[in-house]
Amino acid sequence: MTLRLNSSQKKTPLSQITRNSFLLICFFFLLWYIISSFYFEQEELLSDKNEETLTEVHLTSLSTLSSNTTITTIADNDNSKNQLEELNKKYCGKPICKFLFVYIIGEQETKANLHFRSFSQLAEKLNRIMVLPNVGSSRIGTCNKFPFDFYYNITLLQKEFPNVLFKSENDFIFWLKERDQIKKIMNNNDKPLSILHSSVKINRSAEKTFYDDAEPNFDVYECISKFEPLMNLKDPNSRVRYTKMIIKEMDLIREKSRVEFSKLLTKVLTIDEEIILVNGYVVHPLFLQIMPVIPYNDYILNEAQKIKDKLSFSYIGIHWRLESSTPKLLPDCVQGLIKTLNKVMEEGEIKNIYLATDYPLLSTRSQSSTFGKITSYHHDAIRTLNETFKINTWVSLGGLEQLRKNEKYNKELNGSGIQGILDKLVCMNSNYFISGPKGCSRVISKYTKAIANERSNRIKNKDSDLLNVIDRWEIPL
């Protein structure tokens, strides 16, 4: 069958088809060109070759530009400076942060507590932020592993020193890190930290007090390296100055000379450096005014109260530091202690006994890091005491139970650490307090004196629960 076309279905001439196709091809080619050009331009803008065009440029008003002005350098420095100032305002409340960081205080807790207060007074005189070092093993210093508030109540410390801003070691590290990040982001290395690293130490043989330059790193504890490279102490390009102050002991003992010394100390340390690092061993107060004891953490206070409750608010507190005893005298010493306890318990109608001691309680090692040689005399003396009375200690009464469940506190609890503070507080609260005589115990003890001073103040304030300040038992003749 043949297919026939009507008139409306007649073929279009070839010339017409060719012309229409050509126009259509041109249209699509033009469209392709426009789109391709657009993407090509975008790709060029985002390519590595043109990366510098994305850098933010801050332009100064054209009317103020001279022909040789370098706009980018000036803008970067200004921005870096502004960011550093904002960082300082956030951490310090001022455009420039100035810190006093006494990273080592060379005494055990009772004395270190006193010396930290002295350096806090210095921070106030210098108008500097006081960095709170770590604590542990009855010490205050950055070499220890626990934060400052493991021992102390920072809120109450701040109330004692309302004009001093205190920052933890972690706060200090965060400031160092953020400052370092700003320098890296802005590619600005022309603002190294300015640091004074000074040793401030007493020397009992010194004929006079003097302050002088010192050799780099002449008196540095290795643990301060944890702040590297943020402080750049070993970087030759850093702005670090080293000094030493040797203190004649009498300049701190006599009140008049201590006033003169404190003026000298404040004067030589009134400087522009951002950080003053101090390795301190001063033994005596630095200023005439002696501030109150740094308040202890609420957790320790609560533990002391629990022990007092378990002892029915009726107990004799004993501080017996066996390390300082003469071992061969200990059989007589313990008999003298037993005689005294019998007398006090009968006359004062006191039922319980609490013993604070450096004798091993949790292990075979002493509670003191310096008490290494424990003899049979020591063991026999404690055994005799235990066989005569029921002797209570912070261990037997379940003190610091939560810490004892955590292994990270083992070293602390097996040494002269937080339990030393607990013992001190329990003895302060005892109805009667006794310590050993010469030969049986350490007589000149800041620890024992701190307990006695607190008890004396309470008696003056009519605290009727306390029957004495301190007594020492006698060795039987």
Could you tell me which residues are beta bridge partners of residue 152?
A: 296
Assessment of whether the complete model's pTM goes beyond 0.85: no
Which CATH number fits the domain that encloses residue 149?
3.40.50
Please report whether residue 287 resides in a domain. no
Q: Are 318 and 369 contained in the same domain? A: yes
Mean pLDDT (whole number) for 283-293: 96
Please report whether residue 382 resides in a domain. yes
Q: Are 322 and 269 contained in the same domain? A: no
Please report whether residue 138 resides in a domain. yes
Please, what is the angle between helix 71-92 and helix 169-185, to 10°? 170
Q: Are 138 and 272 contained in the same domain? A: yes
Judge whether 346 and 389 are in contact, CB under 8 Å. Answer: no
Cα-only R_g, the chain: 37
Q: Are 315 and 275 contained in the same domain? A: no
Among all chains, which residue has been given the structure tokens 């005294």? 340
pLDDT band at 46 (very low <50, low <70, confident <90, very high): very low
pLDDT in tens, 231-282: 877 766 678 999 999 999 999 999 999 999 999 999 999 999 999 999 999 9
Q: Are 188 and 276 contained in the same domain? A: yes
Greatest distance between any 2 Cα atoms in the chain: 150
Last residue of a domain, one of 281, 313, 328: 281
Q: Are 399 and 431 contained in the same domain? A: yes
Tell me which DSSP letter residue 466 carries: -
Total of domains in the chain: 2
Last residue of a domain, one of 247, 281, 315: 281
Last residue of a domain, one of 251, 281, 311: 281
Please report whether residue 351 resides in a domain. yes
pLDDT of 341 > 60? The answer is yes
Residue 58, pLDDT score = 28
Please report whether residue 57 resides in a domain. no
3 state SS for 341-402? HHHHHHHCCCCEEEEEECCCCCCCCCCCCCCCCCCHHHHHHHHHHHHHCCEECCCCCCCCHH
Tokens encoding 235: 């970087």
Please report whether residue 374 resides in a domain. yes
Q: Are 303 and 244 contained in the same domain? A: no
Rounded to the nearest integer, the mean pLDDT of the chain is: 84
Please report whether residue 349 resides in a domain. yes
pLDDT of 413 > 90? The answer is yes
Q: Are 260 and 371 contained in the same domain? A: no
60 to 64, 75, 79: CA distances (angstroms): 7, 9, 13
Residue 191, pLDDT score = 67
Q: Are 376 and 257 contained in the same domain? A: no
Q: Are 231 and 143 contained in the same domain? A: yes
Q: Are 356 and 268 contained in the same domain? A: no
Domain with 334, as residue range(s), is 298-472
Please report whether residue 51 resides in a domain. no
Q: Are 450 and 326 contained in the same domain? A: yes
